[in-house]
Homo-oligomer: A and B are copies of this chain.
């Protein structure tokens, strides 16, 4: 049988012996641990562990069974990811393309371990980009009822076997029902340094406040769009003489690298969500 690479994510209340216990489960199944990161957030008494290991699929099943049996006893929350099952992601865009291109180019460079199942847009302008990179493009106008659009999204997701969504400057708000249905499966880029500048036109807000540093925030989309758990943030110093338009332009570089980095962390199963925030291991 083929040796396969797995990634295990665990979090649970802190207690003695967690690392030794986990590594013993893996050792007993004959798994070879490639990489192990662990962190105990003492302020909330919670333990997080990410282990990358290699073994045959049968051994991975043995690990699963073992974790299932001890899980309830230790209040474990765990997930075992088979890295050969590559995630298929949809990219939602409006008209702005800097984030879209950055994702497509980094993917082509082999830097994002996923497949792009489709590009979905409420405008037609970026259709040709899909063509250039061989990703199917779906036009779903936002002029209709939101529920109609979102039902269309559900169909597309099914047709294209999509596992998750990247909102790459998709300028529409998703309904609470939709974000709840795809909880922690939708990554958004907010073009502001959250929680500082929620809502629309964050660069305008920032300029009028005279902040000296601007930023962007990649986070999971939740019902309250600007409040979802933060995955990645980046910042840049503002030239004192910058106009609002120049802030917007400056922001694009930050947005695209922040979104790509967040998607990478997510695909590598480094992101843990716990009590409204993430821990990245």
Contacts and interface: CB of A to CB of B under 8 A. Distances in A.
Given A23-B19, A240-B279, A229 B213 contact: no
A207 interface: yes
Given A27-B17, A43-B243, A208-B276, A105 B111 contact: no
A39 B196 contact: no
Contacts of A23: 19-20, 23-24
A38 interface: yes
A18 B32 CA distance: 9
Identical copies in the complex: 4
A235 interface: yes
Nearest to A41: B243
Interface residues of A, number: 64
6 contacts: A39-B240, A195-B209, A195-B211, A208-B275, A212-B233, A213-B215
Contact of A42 (B32, B39, B196, B243): B243
A13 to B, nearest CB: 15
A40 B207 CA distance: 14
A134 to B, nearest CB: 12
Contact of A36 (B19, B24, B232): B19
Question: Which of A32, A43, A128, A275 has the most chain B CB within a 10 Å cutoff?
Answer: A43
Nearest to A207: B43
A210 B279 contact: yes
Given A17-B33, A210-B278, 9 more contacts: A19-B23, A20-B24, A34-B40, A36-B36, A36-B38, A43-B243, A193-B196, A210-B229, A212-B280
Nearest to A262: B212
Contacts of A230: 209-212
A101 interface: yes
A244 to B, nearest CB: 5
B36 A35 contact: no
A195 to B, nearest CB: 5
A98 interface: yes
A212 B232 contact: yes
A232 to B, nearest CB: 6
Interface string A6-25: 00000000001111100110
Contacts of A229: 210
Contact of A233 (B213, B234, B281): B213
Interface string A174-203: 000000000000000000011111000000
